[in-house]
Amino acid sequence: MGRKNQLLVMPRFVNKVGEWYNFPLGLPYVSASLKKEGFNVYTLNLNNVEDPIKDILEREIEEKDIDIVATGGLTYQYYLIRAIVEAVKSINEDIVTIVGGGIITSAPKVAMEALEYADYGVIGEGEITTCELAYALEDNEDVEEVDGIIYKKNDGYHITNSRQEIHDLDSIPFPDYEGFGFGKIMDLVASYEGINEKNVVTMLSSRSCPFQCTFCFKSSGSKYRKRSLNNFFKELDYLVDKYNVKYIFIADELFSYNKERLKNFCHRIKDYDIKWWAQFRVSDVNRELVKTLKDSNCEIMSFGLESADDRILESMNKNITIEEIENALEIVYEEGITIQGNFIFGDVEETLETATNTLEWWKEHRHYGINLKFITVYPGTELYEYACEQGVIEDEVQYIKEGCLSINVSKMSEEERAWLAKQMAVLAEEEPNNLKDIEIDYENEVFSLKGECVACNNKNHWEDIKLFTSNVLTCNECGHRHSKPALDEITNIIDNNIENLLKEYDKIAFWGINNYFSNFSRHLNSTDNDNIYYIDATKMKQGSKIDGKVIHSPETVREQNIELVVVPILSIVNIIEKQVESDFENVEVVIDILDLLRRG
C-alpha cells in the first residue's frame, strides 16, 4: 500500500494570532515519532494562522492531499478539538480522524460520543500507538491488533487491549518543535503561573506521579518514569542553541520525587544561567534543598496544597499535613523563591467548618499568595467516579460538552457553597499584595511597570506585562507575589467603547466571571447599565452579585436575545466562542475584552 498523507493539527488556543500560549508537547511528541518511522507527515498549528479553522483545513487538505487528520488535547478543550474533527468531516467525510490526549484517555467512550466526528481515539501515551495505528490504516490491517485505541464499531465503540506504558523515555525522539512553529512565541512574554519572561519553553523530565490524589488524572499513565538527565540536557542544549531559551517551565506532575536526581539537576542547570519553574511536594522541602534550588536559579516552586485542614488532606489522599505545608512555605518564602499554589474547596468530606478553617489559615498567611478555587471534577478521577455513582453527574457526555463545570460533591449545601464563593471573592478583592510607588507605561495592550515590593522594598521593573491575565508579578529579589494594578487609562477606554457598543447592539453579555474580572469591573462605570449582563455557566455563581449586579446563566443570552458577547477571561475565549456558535444562534459577535481596547 502507498503511504497515506497525515496532517497533525494543534488546536487554536489563542484569541488572536501573535499571542503567547502554553505550547503543548503531546502532538509534537507524536509528530516526531511518526516522522522517525518515515510516515508522510504534515503539521499545522492553528495558533499561527489567522483564517477561520475550516478554511485553513480545507486549504491544507486539498494542497497536501490529506488522508488522515489527527489532533488532541485535554477535556476542558473539548470545543476546540471538536471544531477540528467536525470541520474535517464536513470537508471530506472519507478522511480518517484521530483524537488523542487526556480527553480520550480519561473517559474513552464518553469522549468519543461527545466528539462525535472522531473515528479513532488514542488511549494513553500516543507515540507508539499512533505509529502502529498508522501502519494498520496504510496496510489495511485489522486495527483490533493495535493496543490502546478506541474506534467506532457496529454503531458503538470498541476498546482494544491496554497499551503498556513506555518504560524507556529516552527512546522517544524530542518533540517536533519546528513542525509546529515553536519559534513564533519566543519573543512573547509568557504571563503564566507567575512567569513574566520571554524565550520560555515547556519541557518534561518525567511522566506520571507515584501518588494517587482523588482529584487528579494522569493522562500519561499510572507508573512514574523519568528521563535520564543526559537526555534532558541534550534536548535543552538543542533548545538553547536553536531558540535562545532563557526560562524553562518543567511540566512534570512531580519533579522532586528523587532527591539525588534533583540535586544533580540543580548542579547541571546552574551553568546555563536559565530560570526555571517546577512542581514540588511540601513533604520534600528542607532549607538545604531550597538553598540549592535558589542557587540554581529556580524562580518558582509550585505546590499541590489543596487544603489547610488535615481531614480534607487525608480524604484527598494527599499524604501531607498542614504542619508540613506550614514548614515548607515558611522556608521557601524566607529563602526568596516565589510560591505558586492553590487551595481547592469541595472535596467529598468538605464541610463549612473545614472550608472555613482553610479560609482562616489563608487570611493569616496572605503573604504567600495562595490562590483560592473550587475543585474541578475531571473525568478519569476517583472524584469523578464518585460523582457519577451518586448521580451528581447524570449525563457524562453533556458534562464534557459543558466544560466540566463546578459541581457539588461535598457535604456542603448549595447555600453554603454560595456563601463560600462570596467569601473567596471578597478576600480576592482586598488585594493585600499591591506594589508601592507604581510607575506605569502603557502601550499596545501591554504595559511596563516599576514598583517597590511591599515585602522587601526592592525596586522592580517589569516589561511587556499582558493585560487581563490573572498572572501575578513576582519580586525579583524576594519572590513576593503582587497583584497587577487597574489602569485608569484602560478603564476609561473600555467604558467609552462599551457605551458605543450599547448603541449598536442594545444589550451586551460579559460571559465568564472570575475573581480577576470581578475586581476589575468595579473600576468600570459603564457596567452599571441595566443592558449589561454578567453570565457564567457555573451554577454556584449564578444568582450572586458583583456590586449589585446579578450573575446569570447562559440561558439568559437566549432569553434576552443578546447579540454581542464579551469574554473577559482570555484563556477561555475560544472555548466560549465555539460553545456560542454551537448553542446560541442569536449571538452575532463574540469578542474578548482586549477588543474593547483595540476599538479605542
Residue 431's pLDDT band (cuts 50, 70, 90): low
pLDDT reading at 426 higher than 80: no
Looking at the predicted structure, is the pLDDT value of residue 433 above 60? Answer: no
**Mean pLDDT over each residue of the chain, to the nearest integer:** 93
Q: What is the mean pLDDT of residues 285-294?
A: 97
Q: Is the pLDDT of residue 556 over 60?
A: yes
Q: What is the rounded average pLDDT of the residues 255-284?
A: 95
Q: What count of other Cβ atoms lies within 10 Å of the Cβ of residue 98?
A: 27
Q: Which amino acid, one-letter code, is at 520?
A: F
Q: Quick one: 237 and 147 in the same domain? A: no
Residue 1 binned pLDDT confidence (cut-offs 50, 70, 90)? very low
What's the sign of the alpha-carbon dihedral 200, 204, 210, 215?
A: positive
Select from 124, 159, 194 the last residue of a domain: 159
CB proximity list for 238: less than 8 A, separation 6 or greater = 174
50 and 150, same domain (yes or no): yes
Could you tell me if residue 311 is inside a domain?
yes
Determine how β-strand 156-159 pairs with β-strand 149-153.
antiparallel
Q: Is 546 a domain residue?
A: yes
CB 228 within 8 A of CB 273: no
pLDDT tens digits for range 217-230: 988 877 899 999 99
Do 222 and 87 share a structural domain? no
Q: Is 324 in contact with 282 (CB distance < 8 Å)?
A: yes
Q: Is residue 220 part of a domain?
A: yes
Asked if the model's pLDDT at residue 272 lies above 90, the reply is yes
Whether 119 and 96 have beta carbons less than 8 Å apart is answered as yes
pLDDT band at 21 (very low <50, low <70, confident <90, very high): very high
Domain end, chosen from 119, 140, 159, is at 159
pLDDT of residue 598: 81
**The three three-digit cell numbers of residue 55, written as one number:** 478554511
Distance CA 186, CA 41 (A): 25
528 lies in the same domain as 390? no
CATH of residue 211's domain is 3.20.20.70
Please answer whether residues 264 and 229 qualify as being in contact, where contact means their C-beta atoms are separated by less than 8 angstroms: yes
Strand segments, DSSP code E, in 434-537 are 436-443, 446-452, 459-466, 473-474, 481-482, 508-511, 532-535
The share of the chain scoring above pLDDT 70, in percent, equals 98
∠ CA(470), CA(462), CA(18), 5° rounding? 65
Cβ–Cβ < 8 Å for 284, 258: no
**Residue 166 domain flag:** no
Q: What is the pLDDT of residues 34-72, one digit of tens each?
A: 999 999 999 999 999 999 999 999 999 999 999 999 999
| 197 and 99 in a common domain | no
- State the pLDDT at residue 429: 61
Grid cell, residue 272, equals: 546555563
Mean pLDDT for the stretch of residues 529-540 = 92
Grade residue 488 by pLDDT with cuts at 50, 70 and 90.
confident
What is the reported pLDDT for 430? 61
Burial class of residue 337, CB neighbours in 10 A (0-12, 13-18, 19+): buried
For residue 173, being part of any structural domain is answered with no
| H/E stretch holding 304 | strand 298-306
The pLDDT of residue 428 is above 80 = no
Is the domain of 280 the same as that of 199? yes
Same structural domain for residues 336 and 215? yes
Identify the pLDDT of residue 403. 87
What 3-state DSSP class applies to 567?
A: strand
Residues 441 and 422 in one domain: no
- The whole-number average pLDDT for the span 81-107 is 97
* Whether 268 and 314 share a structural domain: yes
Assess whether 35 and 89 both reside in one domain: yes
| Contact by Cβ (8 Å): 440, 485 | yes
409 and 447, same structural domain? no
Give the residue, 467 or 102, on which the prediction is more confident: 102
Residue in the structure block whose three cell numbers are 482553610: 358
Same domain (yes/no): 445, 496:
no
Cβ contact 47:10 at 8 Å: yes
Give the C-alpha separation, 499 to 526, whole Å: 7
Query: Which CATH number does the domain housing residue 80 bear?
Result: 3.40.50.280
- Could you give the CA distance from residue 456 to residue 449 in angstroms, rounded to a whole number? 17
CA 178 to chain centroid, in Å, comes to 22
Give percent of the chain above pLDDT 90: 75
Q: What is the pLDDT of residue 425?
A: 78
Domain assignment present for 170: no
Tell me which residue range forms the domain holding 561.
490-598
Place of cell 443578546: 562
Residue 59 in grid coordinates: 486549504
More confident residue, 467 or 237: 237
Question: What distance in Å separates the CA atoms of residue 98 and residue 86, rounded to the nearest whole number?
Answer: 12
Q: Which CATH number characterizes residue 528's domain?
A: 3.40.50
Q: Kind of pairing, strands 436-443 and 40-45? A: unpaired
pTM of the model: 0.92
Q: Is residue 176 part of a domain?
A: no
- Residues 568-580: tens digit of each pLDDT: 988 889 889 988 9
What's the pLDDT band for 364 if we cut at 50, 70, 90? Answer: very high
Residue 69 forms part of a structural domain? yes
Domain count, the chain: 4
Residue 526 has pLDDT above 70, yes or no: yes
Grid look-up 518558582 returns: 300
